[in-house]
Amino acid sequence: MGSSITPQIEESVLQDIQEYRRRCEEDTETYLFFPLAEAFRQIGRHDEAISACKEAIGKYPEYWEMRVTLGRIYKEHEQLDEAKDQLELAVANLPNNLLAHKLLGEVYLSQNQDIEAIKCYRNILLYYPECSQIAATLAQLEEKELLYQQNMLKELESWKEGIYMVLDKNKDSV
């Protein structure tokens, strides 16, 4: 259970869980798996939240919002490859889902995939240009990437000069 969950809130969420489970069992066509998974996530019942997500996705493979929830749960529990898989599917099918792009960008950053994170944050700003926090993060990433590229260019120039020196030396000795 998360530290911000009071016993009263947990009891309320557990009652919601019972109701969602009952309704999911009664109506297999229901989309109540989403609030069920979210309720489990809120009280820190990670395995049950994942099970609810997987059950929903098994019944509704194109339930992209559930993949966002599953990706979020995986990310919160440092299962980054699993999170990335779910979130990549979600953003491919929900191109304007802010949360999916944000979570995927965070996963990419955690995996030192800055270029991919930059793409996610640029996509967010296409749909939500008013997101100043995302704009600031993007600016930092782009500056970091520019410095990296500049350093790589200097290194390549140094290699190029070394190669020319070797070629000139070999040309003189022939």
Can you give the residue ranges of every domain in the chain? Answer: 7-131
The predicted structure's pLDDT at residue 109:
95
CA 56, 61, 67: angle at the middle one, nearest 5? 65
Cβ contact 66:37 at 8 Å: yes
Residue 168: per-residue pLDDT: 79
- Provide the residue type at 105 as one letter: G
pLDDT of the chain, 174 residues: tens digit per residue: 445 677 766 666 667 677 666 666 666 655 677 888 888 888 888 999 999 899 889 888 888 999 999 999 999 999 999 999 999 999 999 998 999 999 999 999 999 999 999 999 999 999 899 999 999 999 999 998 888 888 888 888 889 888 888 887 777 666
Topology of domain 7-131, per CATH? Answer: 1.25.40
CB 65 within 8 A of CB 52: no
pLDDT at 11: 67
- The pLDDT assigned to 30 comes to 58
* Cα angle for residues 161, 163, 168 (degrees, 5° grid): 95
Q: Check residue 2 and give its pLDDT.
A: 45
Q: What is the pLDDT of residue 100?
A: 96
Q: Give the separation between CA 87 and CA 101, rounded to whole angstroms.
A: 8
CA 119 to chain centroid: 12
Decide: 43 and 13 in contact? Cβ < 8 Å.
Answer: yes
Interior angle at CA 70, CA 105 and CA 28, nearest 5: 145
* Number of other residues whose CB lies within 10 A of the CB of residue 121: 28
